[in-house]
Amino acid sequence: MVEKSDIRVVRCGGSKINLRPSVFSTDSRFVLCASGDSVKVYSTRTEECLHSLQGHTNQVTGITLNPANHLQVYSCSADGTVKLWDFIDGILIKTFIIGYPVFAICVSEKHEGIIFLQLSMATNSKSECLQLVAVHLPKSAEQEVEAKELSAVCSHISSNPSCTALGRGGEFIAFARHLQLNVYFFRKQKTYSFSLQATDKKGAKNAFTCVACHPTDDCIATGHEDGKIRLWRNFNQKKEYTYSTLHWHHNAVNTLCFTPEGTHLLSGGIESVLVQWKYGADNKKELLPRLGGAILHIAASSDGQLFCTSHSDNKLTVIESNFKVCGVIQGLVKGDDVLTDLMIDPRSKALVLNGRPGHLQFYSLLRDKHLYNLDIVQQEYIYEAGLDQFEVVKAVFDIKGSWLATVEERGRKSSDLEFFLKLWAYDEKTQSFVLNTTITAAHTDRIISMCFSSSEETTMLVTTAEDGQFKAWCQGADADTQQDQNFWSCDFVGSYHNLKPTNCSFSADSSLLAVSFQEVITIWSPETWEMLTTLCQPPGEIRDLCFGRLSCSKYLLSTTNRNLCCWNLLTCALEWSTSVEVSKLQPDPLSENVAAFSYQSKHTDLFVFKPSEPRPLFTHKNVCSEKVHRAVFVPQEEPLNNCDESSQWLNRSQLYFLTQNMDLLTFNQATEEDRMLSSSKRLVIDDSVAVTPFYLLLGKHRQQQQNLNTPSYTGADKPQQPQGSATIKELLHTPAHVLPAASVLCSMFVNSLLISKTGVREEMESSEQEMDSEKEEEESEEEMEACDSQQELRAQGSVDEVTPKLSKAQEKELKRVRKTDFSWMAGLIDSKP
């Protein structure tokens, strides 16, 4: 039916940056973190992403600096490879093929050429038991090397990588699993194991959650499920080991980290408080509360000046050693479930969904960057496991983006449900949404769905709730109170035979409101609040409801768990219906197209169709293996012009959807992808010269010069090709130790920059004659000779003007002046206009 299309499902941004601990570069200018199947390099100062190291084909599961070269980084991935990168330039140096999915990596200075990996050797990868394996990295010049020398250090280690740590510069390795702590000494080749009882008298849960080793001392810190931290000493004897306990956390300790000098121990847990314990002085601690999101990992820079905490809300926080937050790197926050739908902010075109608890997040898909969080609940969030707190469950924008309606809810599990309906107005001055109205008891039961009217003039909100009513809310509908005109109040309450409403939708011109009550669709006129007609559905509760747009505005689409029906509103008759289980129906706001995700036989298919005809424009079988409940059409930045029928629907807007595993996917065209790839490649070539202040100065100067002198210059594809590039290029690209001394090079280099424009030069000279330049005298004769030929050529014009008879002293003076370099003046003149 549909020809084979080149449209593909592509993962698009917003991946987790908190999966594994981040790594500081040695100079602590950069912080690296695993993000999906790439490694991202962020600047600690500006919090911007410098570049991402792409090459892995599966989730990156660990990164660590190369102990032999601090500008290189190892990364391991679930695709069974370990890659070595130069992270400053973003160049892949080497790939080691392991052959088994790798789950974590650690290295040590003492073990040169060896990396320790956690692999799952078992054939079924789902088994929990992992093995710790030492891998000898083969030394060869090739790009791709297969690492075959694997030697198992120990098997049956915990799947949590923070339960394994190399201790004291690699003398031993400690790993914990459930209730047992094992320490393996490399020199003795011996394992000591210590076990705790599951619970003691007070009911403490003793299971290990994380392990950290002191960098210089023989001490292992372990975190436990009940919030205790134990410091183990003397563990090289089986019997005489001791431990001391630190206790502040009231939930499990997620992570532990010693500072590089070993003076402090950092710990973090679900409370979102970073705790700094002074090593040796028990119970002396400093707290840094309210970091946002449970702390998952802590990393310290090698100089101990910066810490980096990874949080459960997909965030990295950079903290100075005096406990001041100096940077926040925020990724797309993905909880267990998106309660609000995916939405597009009509103003910023940003993707909006619920992010941090009680917040809405605005995320730019184009730049793959978190824009800001909007605090909806405005209450202190208590970081405690199992606490039922307010959560944003519904949000909807009006068509212009000047109003936002949100519903927050609490106590869904228990009987006493609390919820608020809030309306937010866009404030031009602050460029964000400001709370306008809070409605405490909008309905007597949960709000199921809501929508704004789509007309430009008047905004109206319709909410449907489980109490069997739908309500229309208007701004300033209450005529009695004249002073608060801009607040929202209830305009109309409607119900239909006490049935529970399921969904509501406004037509494109807001002249009709459709509210579905279980199996019946009712059509209302929002002008008069008259019920115009009812449409009775084939059996099954209605899930989605949407009106057609533009030329298809006379159609109304509805889905049940078995059928997709299309009603003609002019004849009030069923136009067509198909039996397909649609899990999500999403209309494109810019065209007639409607996308339907159907879930059948354990995979999801996508159909794109126009309501006017039951034939789909585009089908994509097996989009993913999970159900799709959230999808959104995002307007394209610039409309594409595909003529191909099957890809025409992507011209105006792009379809994004969220699977149950919280992967954000999109449909992309191969050609477009190529275009983007090539553009990024070109960017890479341009940047091949290291960006230094010197380069910037030169490049700028060169560009200006070019624009001035040769406006009609039609070089190849590279406009910045330097004129006298040979010298400069040579200068910039020859290794520094090969070059002669800078003092020798200087004048040569400067001469190459000189502009041979005599007119300008003359004026210069006359005005600058008095200038004394003593430095020039010290210059060697050789250089003078080297410059002479050029100088004399240029000097001709000026000599003619000056009186021909000159004393020797004068001539000498003149010569010196001529030699003086005025090229910097040229720069000045150039910049003047």
Partner 1 sequence: MASFKPTKVQVLPKLGEKVTEDTLYWRNYKSPVQMKEFGAVKKIDFSPLPPHNYAVTASTRVHIYGPHSQEPIQSFTRFRDTAYCGTFRGDGKLLVTGSEEGLIRLFDVSGRVALRQFSGHSKAVRVTSFLSDGLRVVSGSDDMTCRVWDIPSGAELKTFTEHTDYVRALAPSKLNPDLFVTGSYDHTVKMFDMRSGSSLMTMQHGYPVECVLLYPSEALLVSTGGRYVKIWDLLKGGQELVSLKNHHKTVTCACLSTVDNKLLTGSLDRHIKVYNSSYKVVHDFDYDTSILSMAIAPHDEVIAVGMTNGVLSVRHRKHKKVNETLTSRRRRGPSYRVFVKGKNFVPRQDDFLVSKPVKEYLQKHDKQLKSFEVSKALDTALQIWGRTNKPEVTVAVIMEINRRGTLKNALAGRDEQSLSKILNFVLKHIFDPRFSQPMIMVGDIIVDLYKEVIPQSPSVERLLQRLMDVLGGETELQHELLQVLGILDTLFASLTPRKEVAALAAPPVDQGSQLQAA
Pairing of strands 38-43, 30-35: antiparallel
Residue 817 phi/psi, 5-degree rounding, is -60, -40
- Token representation of residue 532: 């115009």
Residues 6+ apart with CB under 8 A from 414: 388
| Least gap, CB of 525 to partner 1 (angstroms) | 23
Whose CA is closest to 455, among 474, 478, 469, 437?
474
Q: CB-wise, 334 or 359, nearer to partner 1?
A: 359
Amino acid at 104: A
Pairing of strands 144-146, 91-97: parallel
| Least gap, CB of 371 to partner 1 (angstroms) | 17
Q: CB-wise, 484 or 811, nearer to partner 1?
A: 484
Q: CB-wise, 71 or 490, nearer to partner 1?
A: 490
How far apart CA 832 and CA 118 sit, in angstroms, is 62
| Least gap, CB of 390 to partner 1 (angstroms) | 8
| Least gap, CB of 3 to partner 1 (angstroms) | 54
Cα atoms in the 13 Å half-sphere on the side-chain side of 381: 24
CB 205 within 8 A of CB 225: yes
Q: CB-wise, 384 or 674, nearer to partner 1?
A: 384
How far apart CA 459 and CA 433 sit, in angstroms, is 16
Whose CA is closest to 782, among 731, 746, 822, 735?
746
Q: CB-wise, 325 or 825, nearer to partner 1?
A: 325
| Least gap, CB of 384 to partner 1 (angstroms) | 8
| Least gap, CB of 247 to partner 1 (angstroms) | 16
| Least gap, CB of 252 to partner 1 (angstroms) | 18
Q: CB-wise, 365 or 423, nearer to partner 1?
A: 423
- Token representation of residue 211: 């392990």
Q: What are the beta bridge partners of residue 517?
A: 501, 520
Edge-to-edge strands, sheet with 664-669: 7-11, 664-669, 653-659, 628-635
| Least gap, CB of 480 to partner 1 (angstroms) | 6
Q: CB-wise, 25 or 354, nearer to partner 1?
A: 354
Given its phi and psi angles, is residue 468 left (phi above 0), alpha (psi -120 to 50 degrees) or beta? left
| Least gap, CB of 307 to partner 1 (angstroms) | 13
* 363, 367, 369, 371: CA torsion to nearest 10: -50
Q: CB-wise, 40 or 297, nearer to partner 1?
A: 297
- Token representation of residue 228: 């205790």
Whose CA is closest to 247, among 218, 206, 219?
206
Q: CB-wise, 170 or 292, nearer to partner 1?
A: 292
Q: Which helix (H) or strand (E) holds 798?
A: helix 781-801
CB 562 within 8 A of CB 581: yes
Given its phi and psi angles, is residue 221 left (phi above 0), alpha (psi -120 to 50 degrees) or beta? beta
Cα atoms in the 13 Å half-sphere on the side-chain side of 56: 30
| Least gap, CB of 639 to partner 1 (angstroms) | 41
| Least gap, CB of 439 to partner 1 (angstroms) | 11
Residues 6+ apart with CB under 8 A from 108: 67, 116, 166, 169, 170
Q: CB-wise, 31 or 274, nearer to partner 1?
A: 274
Q: CB-wise, 496 or 597, nearer to partner 1?
A: 496
Q: CB-wise, 94 or 410, nearer to partner 1?
A: 410
Whose CA is closest to 325, among 261, 377, 273, 390?
273
CB 459 within 8 A of CB 475: yes
| Least gap, CB of 377 to partner 1 (angstroms) | 9
How far apart CA 409 and CA 388 sit, in angstroms, is 10
Pairing of strands 264-269, 253-258: antiparallel
Q: What are the beta bridge partners of residue 232?
A: 220, 243
| Least gap, CB of 422 to partner 1 (angstroms) | 12
| Least gap, CB of 207 to partner 1 (angstroms) | 24
Q: CB-wise, 379 or 625, nearer to partner 1?
A: 379
Strands, E, within 428-499: which ranges? 432-439, 447-452, 460-465, 470-475, 488-494
Residues that bind partner 1 (CB under 8 A): 288-292, 325, 378-380, 382, 384, 387-390, 410, 416, 438, 440, 480-481
Helix (H, G, I), strand (E, B) or coil at 277: strand
| Least gap, CB of 749 to partner 1 (angstroms) | 41
Q: CB-wise, 478 or 626, nearer to partner 1?
A: 478
Q: CB-wise, 325 or 784, nearer to partner 1?
A: 325
Helix (H, G, I), strand (E, B) or coil at 334: coil
CA angle 362, 365, 370 (to 5 degrees): 40
CB 798 within 8 A of CB 792: no
CA dihedral sign of residues 475, 405, 598, 552: positive
| Least gap, CB of 381 to partner 1 (angstroms) | 8
| Least gap, CB of 389 to partner 1 (angstroms) | 6
How far apart CA 177 and CA 156 sit, in angstroms, is 8
Q: How many residues does the chain have?
A: 833
C-alpha distances in Å from residue 73, one per residue of 89, 101, 254, 650, 755: 12, 19, 25, 39, 45
Helix (H, G, I), strand (E, B) or coil at 599: strand
Whose CA is closest to 226, among 201, 255, 256, 199?
199
| Least gap, CB of 362 to partner 1 (angstroms) | 17
Q: CB-wise, 72 or 373, nearer to partner 1?
A: 373
Edge-to-edge strands, sheet with 359-364: 343-344, 351-354, 359-364, 369-375
